[in-house]
Structures are given as C-alpha cells and as structure tokens.
Amino acid sequence: MRAVQVLEYGGSDRLTVTDIPRPDPGAGEVRVRLAFAGVNFIDVYMRNGMYAKNRAYGTTVPLTLGMEGAGVVDAVGDGVEGLTAGDRVAYCLSPGSYAEFAIVPAWKLVPVPDDVALEKAAALMLQGCTGHYLTHSLFPLEAGQACLIHAGAGGVGQVLIQLAKARGARVLTTVGSPKKADVAKSLGADEAILYKDVDFKQVVDDLTGGEGVHVVYESVGKDTFERSLFCLRHRGTCVLFGFSSGAVTSVNPQSLAEAGSVFMTRPNLADYMTTADEISGRAGDLFRGVSAGNLQINISDIIDLDNAATAHDALEGRATSGKLLLRMEFT
C-alpha cells in the first residue's frame, strides 16, 4: 500500500512516499481502508522529532505519519464486536493515517452517520474533539463568560469559536489577516483582533473595560503566551494547548501571581479521550452539530496523499484556514 513515512526527523522534504506491506489487524484491532487523513500540527512535531520523547505521543523512526482518518472497515481482528466490513468509521490519536490502510484499536473508532460525509468526519475528529474538551471539560464555559481564542481561523480555532458561542460566551479571537478575520466573524466571533498589527493585550483590555477574560485558549505559544496571561481577569485560566509559533519552554510562577493569581494548564487531547464512551460522546456531539447545521467544518484544502509535503508547508506557513486533508485513492 502507499504510505507517507518519516525515515529521519527533519523538514517536510524528509517525507517519503513509499510502498509498504498492508498490515493485518491483531486482537481488538480493525484495518481501516482510508478515504481521507487529517493533517494536524502534531504530524509536524512527529516529523521534526519534537515529540520523539513525548509521554502520550512518543514515536521512533521509521514511522508512518498521521493521527486522524476516515474510511471504511476493511477487516477486523479477533474479539472485535459491532463492526463489520464496509462500515463507515472515523478516528483520531492512532498513528499511521497517511496511508491507504491503517490499523486502529476498535475502541478508538466511531461510526460516521449517513448524513455526514467522510471528509467532514476526517476533518472534525482531532481538532473538533480538541475544541470539545477545551470548552466542555477542561474549562466548561458558561453563558456570560468571556474567552480569548488565538488563531481563530485555524482548525481548532474555528471549532472553538462555534462551541464557545453555543455555550453563550463572549468570544474574542486573534487572527493573522483581514481575510481570516472575516472567517472568524462569520463563525460567530464577537471580535477578531489582527495581532500582527496591534498589541492584542491592549485591545483585550479595551474591549473588557480592563477586566480581562475568564479563559485564554492559547495555541500559538512562544509569541503570545506571556501577554495571554495578562489578558486574564483575576483568577482566570490560561489553557496552553499548542505552540504553532514555537514551544514555551519555561514559565515563571511569579508571572501567574502578577497576572492576577491566574491558573495555567498544559493539556493533551489523549488525556481527555481515555475511553470509548468519552470518544463517542465528544464525536457524537460534533456529528449532531454538523447534521443539524449548527457546526460548520471548513476544509481549507484536500491534497493527494503523494503530496503530503505540500500540506505540511501550507500548515507551517500559516497558509491554511480550517482543515487540511490528504486524499487516498478510494473506490
């Protein structure tokens, strides 16, 4: 089967398109014939070695990239119940989706409803479930609260805006261009701050009468983190969940005090997707939102599997707005 592998950590030029044997499912596993794979920042971190020693996502080379996909059940291993060949399924947080077939633990698979297209399902699993746990579990937003969402036109950002609005929150967001501001506003953001042009901390102060927001969903990291802390109201929460601009390598506890006795956490999606019920609960909410027309999943581009490097360049180059997918030959 065709697969995109990393043989040595490095840039997108290290992505190797190759033919490898089609794997067989073991006990409790399913072989999925993939139609689409999601492209996520975690793939970049796995490609460049940044996650080589990560507790939740540690990997060694050679590896087949990709942590998200949608397709149909192709074969099931011993002990798998309730899934048969041809069932439409989606998943995330199982490695090897940049390929025509992937082996996935059965408990990580969710059925895709008939009225949800496979590309939408592939697009919403990882970023959608992230938006879900951030707004529903980690910091369950309440009506009347205010939040700041960085990179609001990004994959996670777009879902976050919609879920936060659905919970009745006031949504301030940062974006890298006027075009991205239009995207964020069209999804319900109350404010879209062009953070390359203005000091977003000052704008948040102005917009909240100096009070600050209850929570910052912080995905940009190095370039924004310190100022994000000072966008919080007293005892607010900074959720540092990503680092698109680079890693935050140290935090001075004194900054948390000076920002107003604020809280900080650095969560992993894997710790909020620990059981089949947790996964199907989050995915089920998202699928229902898509079916009812309450949750819009924007696909930035769909690129052939063989051109995965182009997809990585676009993601790292801030050229995407929404989800990037890889397409397999699927008949």
The interface region with ligand NDP, picked from 113-121, 219-227, 229-237, 283-291 by CB under 6 A, is 219-227
Rank residues 83 and 299 by Cβ distance to ligand NDP and give the closer one. 299
CA distance 295 to 305: 27
Rank residues 124 and 328 by Cβ distance to ligand NDP and give the closer one. 124
Rank residues 69 and 157 by Cβ distance to ligand NDP and give the closer one. 157
Binding string, 247-286, against ligand NDP, x = CB under 6 A? --------------------xxx-----------------
**Nearest approach, Cβ of residue 31 and ligand NDP (Å):** 26
Site size for ligand NDP (CB under 6 A): 28
115-174 binders of ligand NDP (CB under 6 A) = 127, 130, 151, 153-157
6-65 binders of ligand NDP (CB under 6 A) = 40-42
Among 175, 229, 283, 305, binds ligand NDP (CB under 6 A): 175
Those residues with Cβ within 8 angstroms of residue 307's Cβ, 6 or more apart along the chain or in another chain: none
Among 5, 135, 237, 320, binds ligand NDP (CB under 6 A): 320
Which residues of the shown chain bind ligand NDP in the complex (CB under 6 A)?
40-42, 127, 130, 151, 153-157, 175-176, 180, 219-220, 223, 241-245, 267-269, 316, 318, 320
